[in-house]
A and B are shown apart, each in its own frame.
Chain A
Amino acid sequence: MLKIEDINVYYGNIQALKGVSMEINKGEIVTLIGANGAGKSTLLKTISGLLKPKQGKVLFEGDPIGGKAAQSIVKMGISHVPEGRRVFANMTVAENLELGAYLRKDKEGIKKDMGKVYELFPRLLERIKQQAGTLSGGEQQMLAMGRALMAKPRLLLLDEPSMGLAPLLVKQIFNIIQEISEIGTTILLVEQNANLALSIADRAYVVETGRIVLSGKAEDLTSSEEIKMAYLGGH
């Protein structure tokens, strides 16, 4: 579904991704794990068009999307839930969800999908008229995910959905991620909590200082000694 071939991405003069290649197949949950600053978020931003690769290819269902404007990538079916949620705090929950469907014109379908989002996140329905800035961190995460789903993505990029949330809430969010996957949305998940990410993922890539250093099936990586030492707090 998504294929990345040997991309280099720079912030000014600093190279953030060095020859990264990866692949996501339809229906999978793929996770990127790695330390802070390894380049995980940079990779997501490159896929969603916020950053442009200097070299290399990004192919979505065979079409090159590297360097395309973010809005055309959303239109093609990739939605990005950014790190730190980035909800529109000065707007209501309902308005945030409407903005998620900004490129869609099918009023009926939008209404239906909004109902689905409220089914997935009943908390949002309770807060429908509330300003997004007054929501708790967990509710904002739900809103950010709901907002991305309103674009009807085929590929959903999730950046650190567990950040700053209480363990119980993290579990709830991860259950919902699995539900979203079961509906048929392909998911690329960036997480610092590697244990948790590997527990729901099909495959994983390990990112270190801008390079992919390891990849494989999630269960294989979970049992690998190297991963245990570096990321799973093993000994």
Chain B
Amino acid sequence: MELIQQLVNGISLGSIYALIALGYTMVYGIVKLINFAHGDVFMVGSFVGFYAITVMDLSFISALLISMFTCAIFGVLIERIAYKPLRNATRIAALITAIGVSLLIENGLIYIRGAQPEAYPNNVLPMDKLDIFGVSISSQSILILSVSIILMIILQFVVHKTKIGKAMRAVSFDSEAAKLMGINVNNTISATFAIGSALAGAAGVIFGIYYIKIEPLMGVLPGLKAFVAAVLGGIGIIPGAMVGGLLLGVIEALVSAAGYSLWRDGVAFIVLILILIFLPQGLFGKNKREKV
């Protein structure tokens, strides 16, 4: 029973990783950039949600939507200001810029509001314990998991059924050919950043509600782990990020359950190393073959 509870915890944590990993993977898919500032967008989303709940006295859903919307705009601004001028530069230049943007956001926020942590109020979501087949699961975990799953379903719908989603897939496959279809590549890249950042914002609010404590450097470790999750699933592949995130959350929970909770952060990076050695294309990646 203990094990099943840990599994549920792992899936909840994993769904947060998955939401962040989606942004990493979508951005990588379209501009081949590991956006290391993505973890900080998650952090900003968490703070926006916090202020929406405490200062503006909003409900969970409104706070979630406001955070997603703010992060979407924030993500587009980051892309337009920092990354777009480097579109044709070397990849290492863009990567270093991403690290710089990350530091700027973290320290910018510390400059504005100080480095002290905040605590999400614990009455945002009902805190009942549900008894399912003898396993006690908090209603919060279930709600968090449902929100994540709903967001991922919406994302799948957007990517596969809408015009902008098809444009995103076309640009990420071959941006020059996409231009010849009349697709505006810049707008499509912006849309990708907006959607990825909105998901990170949602993850930020969910994280705050689940783990209570938030602070300006909170994005670093979940950001890195979400990156591991994206690589685990196969970078650039959307279902891969979902599965990679959930898997990583479960692995961490199981390591904790086995009594090695101090090792849980390390395990994520052991997973990264193993994946890079034995399966560099990730679980869902395939070696590209081209037909002539």
Tell me if B128 counts as interface (CB < 8 A to partner A).
no
Q: How far apart are the CA atoms of A88 and B181 in the complex, in Å?
A: 11
Stretch at the interface among B172-180, B206-214, B242-250, B254-262: B172-180
Q: Which residues of A (118-144) have their CB < 8 Å from a CB of B?
A: 133, 135-137, 140
Instruction: Report yes or no: B182 in contact with A91, Cβ–Cβ below 8 A.
Output: no
Instruction: Report yes or no: B291 in contact with A86, Cβ–Cβ below 8 A.
Output: no
Report the tally of A-B residue pairs with Cβ distances under 8 A.
70
List B contacts of A26 (CB < 8 A). none
Tell me if B132 counts as interface (CB < 8 A to partner A).
no
Neighbour of A140 across the interface among B167, B176, B182, B291, CB < 8 A: B291
Instruction: Report yes or no: A147 in contact with B181, Cβ–Cβ below 8 A.
Output: yes
Instruction: Report yes or no: A82 in contact with B181, Cβ–Cβ below 8 A.
Output: no
Q: How far apart are the CA atoms of A86 and B180 in the complex, in Å?
A: 10
- CB within 8 Å for A50 and B176 given contacts A71-B182, A74-B181, A99-B181: yes
Instruction: Report yes or no: A151 in contact with B182, Cβ–Cβ below 8 A.
Output: yes
Neighbour of A86 across the interface among B167, B177, B292, CB < 8 A: B177
Instruction: Report yes or no: B180 in contact with A48, Cβ–Cβ below 8 A.
Output: yes
- CB within 8 Å for A91 and B169 given contacts A86-B176, A102-B163, A164-B292: yes
Instruction: Report yes or no: B170 in contact with A91, Cβ–Cβ below 8 A.
Output: yes
Tell me if A49 counts as interface (CB < 8 A to partner B).
yes
In chain B, what residue has the closest Cβ to A140?
B291
Tell me if B184 counts as interface (CB < 8 A to partner A).
yes
Tell me if A171 counts as interface (CB < 8 A to partner B).
no
Instruction: Report yes or no: B174 in contact with A86, Cβ–Cβ below 8 A.
Output: yes
List A contacts of B176 (CB < 8 A). 50, 82, 86
Q: How far apart are the CA atoms of A21 and B170 in the complex, in Å?
A: 33
Tell me if B80 counts as interface (CB < 8 A to partner A).
no
Instruction: Report yes or no: B182 in contact with A75, Cβ–Cβ below 8 A.
Output: yes
In chain A, what residue has the closest Cβ to B187?
A71
List A contacts of B224 (CB < 8 A). none
Neighbour of B184 across the interface among A71, A80, A91, A140, CB < 8 A: A71
Tell me if A79 counts as interface (CB < 8 A to partner B).
yes
Interface residues on B, range: 10 to 19
Within the complex, the shortest CB–CB distance from B102 to chain A, in Å, comes to 31
Tell me if B183 counts as interface (CB < 8 A to partner A).
yes
Q: Which residues of B (156-203) have their CB < 8 Å from a CB of A?
A: 163, 166-167, 169-170, 173-174, 176-184
Q: How far apart are the CA atoms of A23 and B168 in the complex, in Å?
A: 36
- CB within 8 Å for A82 and B169 given contacts A71-B183, A75-B182, A102-B182: no
List A contacts of B292 (CB < 8 A). 137, 164
Q: How far apart are the CA atoms of A99 and B163 in the complex, in Å?
A: 8
Q: Which residues of A (49-105) have their CB < 8 Å from a CB of B?
A: 49-50, 69-71, 74-75, 79-80, 82, 86-91, 95, 98-100, 102-103
Interface centre among A49, A74, A136, A140 (most CB of B within 10 A): A74
List A contacts of B174 (CB < 8 A). 86, 88
List B contacts of A82 (CB < 8 A). 176-177, 180
List B contacts of A75 (CB < 8 A). 182
Neighbour of B173 across the interface among A69, A71, A88, CB < 8 A: A88
- CB within 8 Å for A70 and B180 given contacts A86-B174, A137-B291, A164-B292: yes
Neighbour of A88 across the interface among B169, B179, B182, CB < 8 A: B169
In chain B, what residue has the closest Cβ to A136?
B291
In chain B, what residue has the closest Cβ to A87?
B177
Instruction: Report yes or no: B173 in contact with A89, Cβ–Cβ below 8 A.
Output: yes
- CB within 8 Å for A70 and B291 given contacts A88-B170, A98-B166: no
List A contacts of B177 (CB < 8 A). 82, 86-88
Q: Which residues of A (19-47) have their CB < 8 Å from a CB of B?
A: none
Instruction: Report yes or no: A102 in contact with B167, Cβ–Cβ below 8 A.
Output: yes
Interface centre among B173, B177, B179, B181 (most CB of A within 10 A): B181
Q: How far apart are the CA atoms of A49 and B182 in the complex, in Å?
A: 11
List B contacts of A49 (CB < 8 A). 179
List A contacts of B163 (CB < 8 A). 102
List A contacts of B183 (CB < 8 A). 71, 99, 102
Q: How far apart are the CA atoms of A82 and B181 in the complex, in Å?
A: 11
Neighbour of B179 across the interface among A71, A95, A148, CB < 8 A: A71
In chain A, what residue has the closest Cβ to B173?
A88
Closest 9 CB pairs of A and B: A74-B182, A103-B182, A70-B179, A86-B177, A71-B182, A102-B181, A99-B181, A102-B182, A80-B180
B-side residues, CB < 8 A to A, are: 163, 166-167, 169-170, 173-174, 176-184, 290-292
A-side residues, CB < 8 A to B, are: 48-50, 69-71, 74-75, 79-80, 82, 86-91, 95, 98-100, 102-103, 133, 135-137, 140, 147-148, 151, 164
Q: List 18 A-B contacts (CB under 8 A).
A: A49-B179, A70-B182, A71-B183, A74-B180, A75-B182, A82-B176, A86-B174, A86-B180, A88-B177, A89-B291, A90-B173, A98-B166, A99-B181, A99-B183, A100-B181, A102-B167, A133-B291, A137-B291
